[in-house]
Amino acid sequence: MFSRLVWRLCLVFCASLLLTKPLYAIAPARAPSTTDLKAAIDAAAMGNYFESLSSWLSEKAQTVSQEPAETTIKELFKDQSLAAALWQRTFLYKYGVGNIEAFIKADSSNKEFLLWLMQDTEALDQFLLGAAPIGLRQREDNSFGIPVNALTIWKQIYDADPAAKKGLLLKLAMATALNPPGTGCRGAGQPEKQEEPLDRYLHFKEAHAKKELVPSFDDLAVWELRHVTCSMASHADMSWGREMVNTWNPEFKKNEGIVDTTSQVWRRNSPISHANSYKNVMAGGGKCGPRSSWSVFICQAWGVPATGVGQPAHACVAYRKPDGVWSTAYGRSWAASKLLGLSGDEFVAGMFAELQPKRFALVEHMRWLALVLPAADQGPLLELAKTISKAPADSSDTREKTAVSVAALSAQPTTAVPPTFSPHNGLFHIDAGSYFDNGGCAVFGGHPGVGVSESYPQGSGKQIHFAANMGSVWAGYKIKVPKTGVYELVAKIATVNFDQGILVRSYGAMYPVKSSTASAVYKNMVKDLGSQQAVDSNPSTRWAVNEGVDQASLEIDLGEPKPISTCMIDERFFNRVSKFKVEYKAGDEWKLLFEDTNMGIAYEKDFPSVTAQYVRLTTLDCRERGGPTIWDFSVGETKNGAAWINLPCTYGLWENTKPADIHLVEGEQTIWFFAPFQRGITLKSFDLKAKQSAGTITAKTPLPVQDLPSTQLKDATGEDPE
């Protein structure tokens, strides 16, 4: 009995000691060590290590949780041990302890990778910040996780490339792990099978090493790189996309304006399938869906982050500009947009938060720290984080940016004195940039002439580009023809659409005109648009008549009676005249040579030879609003050279055209290339060689009639060119 009583008294005494012992005397939680981490990884048992991290960090967080201040929090994070523990704990929390243990057990070599990652504080922090969603609400509620396959993908890259442990390649590896191929926007052009993640990393590593990507690629954060690596495109298509822009129109590289290639995806109700290849999307075109898919693809191919955007009854694109700010293109504003599960305004808010990297990191670190506390104690820390995130921008808190190179085009001749080309061993080889003169008729805006750029690959001369949406654009080359006859012409071109063509013309074979008169001239602008402008062998001048006029006449005086048996008329792109006649004067009487319809591009007509000094062209009827416009009217016995070259779709790469025949007259003359209402044609060079010693072409491909709505036309001054 006595012993039992003593035992009870001892228990009461010990209990009283415990109850009266102050809390500060209880042994604090111990900071987990590297030894603890290695042991946990070796045993594939991360649960206890996670609890140890949580307990130790909770004690640290309690010291600032009730009345947190920004300065106090920043001071706390200077403790490298605390920062390392917090990053590790957040990583285990976001990825899942069970998923980490499964990763360790999947392959014994995964232990070494995991140990490296969890000990590299900078890499781990960068990975966690890169995994954070763009939306502020998702970050504020801390509910997001890390894809389960991310570590497996990253480990493959880690094993394949030792260079992937730092710098840009480290960020690229992280982005590929978080958003591998196939996690991007679904749409037109994507292949049936997606590329492997390791191959995606290596593709962009190689493209970067070759300087094939935009300069700002070097500046991208992990979250931005995720919107490059996720591309649904094949690597073959991405390589082609870069080569296509370099070859066909490098102007799009100016200020990294790669997204503007979308303006070329034009055709609706196309018979060309959009499946399996972005070459088909470009050539086939379509409405907003394929255009959106193209925009995302071509940006990502060049290393520009991009994603699809949904708008009411429309689809477009959002992409990162060189200054780091995202923008929508080919659609409405952010207010009408939805992307990545966010409204446009939510995306913009999250994007601007990411552009302040120090503040962004501080706010996210505070949210991670709040997670170690009981839910009831998290409020003050989370409220302070929200307040800091909404503070005015700090101009000193910006990411470093690489200077963006400019690849500008010039519409000026490439030489001060353009050469006159003579054949070498019977062959003319003429670089496109060596034109004598150029010009154009702007319809929907743009420079009314050709663009000039360095040819791809570098050092291979200069090329010219006939821009899309031009009523007509032309360039002329001076040549010295050794002998009159038929010459074979082959051009090296690049196109991105089907059904394109180039008109080639020469002047000098038809009779010169002594004088001319017209029944009417547009707004009485005789100097600029009078009859003489249609008979001067100049491709940039024209005779024009007021809108509403269907019947008008142009009379020419050859100076003396001459035999005539052929006629050439160039209405170019206007295609307004639907009925016309050509007559010659015999004494005081006008006699009919021929009557026809549809002049269009470079009309020509042979007829029985007559002798005449005066010849008259009369328009009898016109389409829509009327107002004939004639660029050239000439008669003679031997035609000026004319050939319409049907161009293949080369998908933006260099290809030679099929040979075309053109009649040239001995002596110095200019050969002109025209692209009336085409969809963007690039000319690198052309070759001419004699096909027969003399004579004229007896058979030729008919020149197409352009069925174009004249109500859409405006000239270079912005006025309707009647």
pLDDT band for 539, please (50, 70, 90 cuts).
Answer: confident
The pLDDT of residue 540: 83
The pLDDT of residue 413: 44
Position of tokens 């547009």? 522
The alpha carbon of residue 256 and the mean position of all alpha carbons in its chain are separated, in whole angstroms, by: 8
Which DSSP symbol is given to 626? -
Which DSSP symbol is given to 57? H
The percent of residues above 70 in pLDDT, for the chain, comes to: 88
Which DSSP symbol is given to 703? P
- Measured from the Cβ of residue 397, the count of other Cβ atoms closer than 10 Å reads 13
Among 637, 667, 691, give the residue marking a domain's end.
637
For residue 699, pLDDT over 60 is answered with no
For residue 508, pLDDT over 60 is answered with yes
Q: For all residues of the chain together, what is the average pLDDT? A: 87
Candidates 296, 335, 298, 331; CA nearest to 315 is 331
The CA-based angle 318-319-320, given to 5 degrees, is 140
Q: How many domains does the chain have?
A: 3
The pLDDT of residue 403: 58
The pLDDT of residue 266: 65
Predicted confidence (pLDDT) per residue in 70-118, tens digit: 999 999 999 999 999 999 999 999 999 999 999 999 999 999 999 999 9
For residue 447, pLDDT over 50 is answered with yes
For residue 28, pLDDT over 70 is answered with no
For residue 646, pLDDT over 70 is answered with yes
Predicted confidence (pLDDT) per residue in 175-190, tens digit: 999 999 999 999 899 9
pLDDT band for 545, please (50, 70, 90 cuts).
Answer: very high
CATH number at residue 564: 2.60.120.260
Examine the domain organization and report whether 220 and 313 are in the same domain: yes
pTM of this structure: 0.86
Q: Does residue 6 fall inside a structural domain?
A: no
For residue 427, pLDDT over 70 is answered with yes
The pLDDT of residue 509: 87
For residue 409, pLDDT over 60 is answered with no
Examine the domain organization and report whether 376 and 229 are in the same domain: yes
- Interval 512-528 mean pLDDT: 95
Q: Is the peptide bond before 418 cis (omega within 30 degrees of 0)?
A: no
For residues 198 and 392, give the distance between their C-alpha atoms in angstroms, rounded to a whole number.
41
The percent of residues above 90 in pLDDT, for the chain, comes to: 69
Examine the domain organization and report whether 77 and 201 are in the same domain: yes
Question: Range with the lowest mean pLDDT among 200-214, 386-400, 507-521, 546-560?
Answer: 386-400
Q: Does residue 23 fall inside a structural domain?
A: no
For residue 212, pLDDT over 90 is answered with yes
The pLDDT of residue 381: 93
Q: Quick one: angle between helices 110-119 and 150-160, nearest 10?
A: 100
pLDDT band for 45, please (50, 70, 90 cuts).
Answer: very high
Half-sphere exposure of 685 (CA within 13 A, CB side): 15
The pLDDT of residue 402: 65
The pLDDT of residue 702: 42
Question: Range with the lowest mean pLDDT among 229-243, 374-388, 443-457?
Answer: 443-457
pLDDT band for 446, please (50, 70, 90 cuts).
Answer: low
Examine the domain organization and report whether 502 and 514 are in the same domain: no
Tokens of 550: 């269907």
Examine the domain organization and report whether 60 and 151 are in the same domain: yes
Predicted confidence (pLDDT) per residue in 130-179, tens digit: 999 999 888 888 888 999 999 999 999 999 999 999 999 999 999 999 99
The pLDDT of residue 404: 55
Examine the domain organization and report whether 162 and 107 are in the same domain: yes
Among 595, 620, 637, give the residue marking a domain's end.
637
Predicted confidence (pLDDT) per residue in 82-94, tens digit: 999 999 999 999 9
The pLDDT of residue 394: 83
For residue 377, pLDDT over 80 is answered with yes
Exposure string for 473-505, b = 16+ CB within 10 A, e = fewer: bbbbbbbebeebbbbbbbbbbbbbbbebbbbbb
The pLDDT of residue 222: 98
Predicted confidence (pLDDT) per residue in 702-716, tens digit: 444 443 333 333 333
Examine the domain organization and report whether 53 and 171 are in the same domain: yes
Half-sphere exposure of 493 (CA within 13 A, CB side): 25
Q: Does residue 110 fall inside a structural domain?
A: yes
Examine the domain organization and report whether 321 and 204 are in the same domain: yes
Cβ-proximal residues to 383 (8 Å cutoff; 6+ apart), any chain: none
Examine the domain organization and report whether 627 and 664 are in the same domain: no
Examine the domain organization and report whether 92 and 111 are in the same domain: yes
The pLDDT of residue 53: 96
Among 577, 606, 637, give the residue marking a domain's end.
637
- Interval 25-43 mean pLDDT: 81
3-state SS string for 549-609: CCCEEEEEEEEEEEEEEEEEEECCCCCCEEEEEEEEEECCEEEEEEEECCCCCCEEEEEEE
Q: Does residue 11 fall inside a structural domain?
A: no
The pLDDT of residue 145: 92
Selected residue with higher pLDDT from 673 and 284: 673
CB of 628 closer than 8 Å to CB of 547: no
- Interval 297-311 mean pLDDT: 97
For residue 240, pLDDT over 60 is answered with yes
The pLDDT of residue 559: 97
Examine the domain organization and report whether 555 and 671 are in the same domain: no
The pLDDT of residue 441: 79
For residue 3, pLDDT over 70 is answered with no
Exposure string for 585-606, b = 16+ CB within 10 A, e = fewer: beeeebeebeeeeebbbbbbee
Q: Does residue 534 fall inside a structural domain?
A: yes
The pLDDT of residue 695: 47
Q: Does residue 290 fall inside a structural domain?
A: yes
The pLDDT of residue 302: 98
Q: Does residue 400 fall inside a structural domain?
A: no
The pLDDT of residue 457: 81
For residue 13, pLDDT over 60 is answered with no
For residue 9, pLDDT over 70 is answered with no
Tokens of 29: 């939680």
The pLDDT of residue 577: 94
Q: Give the helix, strand, coil percentages of the chain, each rounded to 5.
A: 35, 25, 40
Examine the domain organization and report whether 505 and 551 are in the same domain: no
pLDDT band for 416, please (50, 70, 90 cuts).
Answer: low
Selected residue with higher pLDDT from 16 and 223: 223
pLDDT band for 602, please (50, 70, 90 cuts).
Answer: confident
pLDDT band for 265, please (50, 70, 90 cuts).
Answer: confident
Predicted confidence (pLDDT) per residue in 607-621, tens digit: 999 999 999 999 999
User: Residue ranges of the alpha helices (H) in 379-419?
Assistant: 379-389
Range of the domain at 569: 510-637
For residues 363 and 70, give the distance between their C-alpha atoms in angstroms, rounded to a whole number.
10
The pLDDT of residue 700: 40
For residues 152 and 645, give the distance between their C-alpha atoms in angstroms, rounded to a whole number.
55
For residues 663 and 488, give the distance between their C-alpha atoms in angstroms, rounded to a whole number.
9
For residue 491, pLDDT over 80 is answered with yes
- Measured from the Cβ of residue 515, the count of other Cβ atoms closer than 10 Å reads 12
For residue 374, pLDDT over 90 is answered with yes
Tokens of 497: 């659409």
- Interval 269-290 mean pLDDT: 83
Q: Does residue 411 fall inside a structural domain?
A: no
